A and B are shown apart, each in its own frame.
Chain A
């Protein structure tokens, strides 16, 4: 018990000191393969020390989590790389003028509708769909369009529909689909309104 408390206190101090150092003195000085977003660096520090702390108090959970993570990585690495290759192609091949026309700020509410429609057919797994959405953002899509894509992401994807049918039935699948698309549109509309009033800048 005492060992757990000591580990908890030490890990908290390490997380605070580590987060402060990546946000201030080490900002922009870390190697490129760790990414360039400081919040990602904070997440890495949090992950490392959370694993250390849990390994002290519940080592069996750490063993299971490491096993599950490696299994998840092995099962999705090829698709993550494929998604990053699609994102790379989208950045180079999609005309930014076209993206800005349909998903940019000037497209108005249409961007939300198009964003949700594109998002619906994207995979439910964020590690695969998010790089594709991010590449569209880099091409000049506006926040309402990009968030519309994120809200719609995975709602009508094959594996989610298959799970609806496996665990429930076609009636529940229909209601779920209708309500999630409605929710994505409501969320997109809220973002559009807040963005139009300057709340998201």
Chain B
């Protein structure tokens, strides 16, 4: 039981994925038993094809995460508030994709008096752009789609970040 708990962890939201998978297969087994075997075969094929690229991506992601320190990236920040929105967006983009790892860093910047518009841009890009996800994206989706995702997500984050900056400027 303790071993099972160690494997499953305590992230309720991820357990939901496991439950969905179990329910999908039990449901299929009841409604259309003939479809289960092709589903399992396809899944096993995908696992065989993707598991090593996924593990490699995880190893590379962790190495990059450990090489990047907040101190080295914070040198990017300038004095201009408009420029800060851009640099906050850049910084947010290269933060670790997991909110449990990224939010403490963002929270530290907020505590140091970062403007709300820059802080929000950092939050948006940390949720949407997530450059460290590039390895997962390449492993699963391919280089072209992953680069398209990053490019458009960053562009849109900057547009919304600057609109929010202008809105705040008008309000104050």
Point out residues on A near B: beta carbons under 8 Å.
Answer: 32-37, 39-40, 43-44, 46-47, 50-51, 54, 61-62, 64-66, 68-69, 72-89, 91-93, 123-128, 130-131, 133-134, 137, 143, 146-147, 150-151, 154-155, 157-160, 162-164, 166-168, 172, 175-176, 179-180, 182-184, 186-187, 190-191, 200
Chain B residue nearest to A122 in the complex (CB): B17
Partner of A147, one of B21, B46, B106, B149: B149
- B164 CB, min distance to chain A CBs, angstroms: 6
Query: Are A168 and B140 neighbours in the complex by a CB distance under 8 Å?
Result: no
Point out residues on B near A: beta carbons under 8 Å.
Answer: 7-9, 11-14, 16-18, 20-21, 24-25, 28, 35, 38-63, 65-67, 97-100, 103-104, 106-107, 110, 120, 123-124, 127-128, 130, 133, 135-143, 145, 148-149, 152-153, 155-157, 159-160, 164
Tell me the complex Cα distance, A72–B61, Å: 10
Contacts of A54 in B (CB 8 A): 63, 67
Q: At the interface, is chain B mostly helix, strand, loop or mixed?
A: helix
Given A180-B127, A183-B153, do A131 and B59 touch, yes or no (CB 8 Å)?
Answer: no
Given A125-B98, A147-B149, do A34 and B156 touch, yes or no (CB 8 Å)?
Answer: no
Interface centre among B7, B43, B50, B157 (most CB of A within 10 A): B43
Q: At the interface, is chain A mostly helix, strand, loop or mixed?
A: helix
Chain A residue nearest to B55 in the complex (CB): A73
Contacts of B143 in A (CB 8 A): 37, 39
Query: Are B21 and A83 neighbours in the complex by a CB distance under 8 Å?
Result: yes
Contacts of B39 in A (CB 8 A): 85, 88-89, 91-93
